[in-house]
């Protein structure tokens, strides 16, 4: 004998069915037999096969639940997850929640768990425990010190890079100064050579003129005091030159000024 129930109760049965509540619990909540729950679930499936899921949902007034299921199916498809994989994920989330792990730390916990398979993980954990014992610091304090030292090391590396750059600039300046010094020294050598050439040319010119004037250093030394005295007496340069020529002519014939004076004095007597 089939027991008829109200449309509201029928919709309620399907609503609970679509959210995954077991049939015995649905029967208990709706105060019907489990066979009734099963019958309405089968009836919806047959109606959906006949009219389509949307039309069947409209008829049984469970459109919201069907839309929710479709949205969930779309999300699973986008993330390339099967229903079984989604169930496993939910189970893991529940486990994290039972362990008091907040959602923000789920990824970190998964990474830590995956590293347990690494053979270096246990020795690293033991080393950390030794550090905590030897330093008297907690894991958080050790990490804080490590991050601080890492930051200081980074600053030192930046300072070292700046000093290296400054050193390179100084070396470049030294190279430029060395090159400039070499150019100055080269210029000085060239100037010294030019001075030597000028001196040599001047000496040659003086020697040539002395030879043309039949002058020697000894004669020039003897004439110099005389020339100075004549200048003091007001003798002009033109007359001085004539006088020196006459003096030279007298010396060439062997008559000195003293002899010339003596001759003049003798003639006056």
Is 264 contained in some domain? Answer: yes
pTM, 2 dp: 0.35
pLDDT digits (tens, 9 = 90+) for 144-175: 888 888 888 988 998 888 888 888 889 898 98
Concatenated DSSP letters for 203-222?
Answer: HHHHHHHHHHTT--HHHHHH
Model pLDDT, residue 25:
93
Domain count, the chain: 2
Tokens of 219: 């004669």
Q: Which domain holds residue 235?
A: 215-268
Is residue 244, in this structure, part of any structural domain at all?
yes
Instruction: Summarize pLDDT for 8-50 with one digit per residue, the tens.
Output: 888 888 888 888 889 999 999 988 999 999 988 898 888 888 8
User: 169 phi and psi, to 5 degrees?
Assistant: -65, -40
Residue where one domain finishes, among candidates 37, 62, 80:
80
pLDDT, tens digit, 9 for 90 and up, residues 79-120: 888 878 878 888 888 888 888 888 888 888 777 777 767 777
Last residue of a domain, one of 39, 65, 80: 80
pLDDT digits (tens, 9 = 90+) for 225-241: 666 766 676 766 666 56
Residue 63 lies in a domain: yes
Residue 160 token pair: 């070292």
Instruction: Please check whether residue 101 lies inside any domain of the structure.
Output: no
Query: The tokens of 224 are what?
Result: 């110099």
Residue 9 located in a structural domain: yes
Given 80, 95, 120, which residue is the final one in a domain? 80
Q: What is the pLDDT of residues 182-221, one digit of tens each?
A: 888 888 888 888 888 888 888 787 777 767 666 666 666 6
């Amino acid at each position: 004998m089939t027991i008829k129930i109200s449309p509201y109760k029928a919709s309620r049965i399907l609503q609970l069915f679509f959210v995954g509540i077991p049939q015995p619990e649905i029967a208990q909540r709706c105060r019907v037999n489990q066979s009734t729950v099963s019958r309405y679930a089968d009836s919806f499936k047959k109606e959906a096969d006949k009219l389509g899921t949307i039309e069947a949902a409209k008829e049984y007034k469970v459109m919201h639940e069907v839309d929710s299921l479709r949205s969930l199916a779309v999300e699973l498809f986008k993330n390339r997850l099967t229903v079984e994989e989604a169930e496993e994920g939910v189970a893991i989330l529940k486990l994290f929640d039972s362990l008091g792990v907040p959602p923000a730390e789920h990824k970190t916990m998964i990474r830590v768990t995956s590293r347990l398979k690494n053979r270096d993980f246990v020795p690293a954990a033991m080393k950390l425990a030794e550090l905590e014992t030897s330093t008297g610091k907690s894991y958080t304090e050790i990490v804080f010190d490590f991050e601080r030292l890492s930051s200081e090391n980074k600053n030192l590396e930046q300072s070292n890079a700046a000093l290296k750059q400054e050193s390179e600039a100084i070396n470049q300046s030294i190279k430029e100064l060395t090159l400039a010094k070499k150019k100055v020294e080269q210029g000085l050598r060239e100037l010294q050579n030019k001075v030597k050439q000028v001196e040599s040319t001047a000496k040659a010119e003086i020697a040539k003129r002395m030879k043309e004037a039949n002058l020697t250093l000894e004669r020039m030394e003897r004439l110099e005091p005389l020339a100075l005295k004549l200048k003091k007496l007001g003798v002009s340069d033109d007359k001085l030159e004539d006088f020196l020529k006459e003096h030279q002519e007298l010396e060439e014939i062997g008559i000195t000024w003293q002899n010339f004076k003596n001759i003049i004095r003798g003639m006056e007597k």
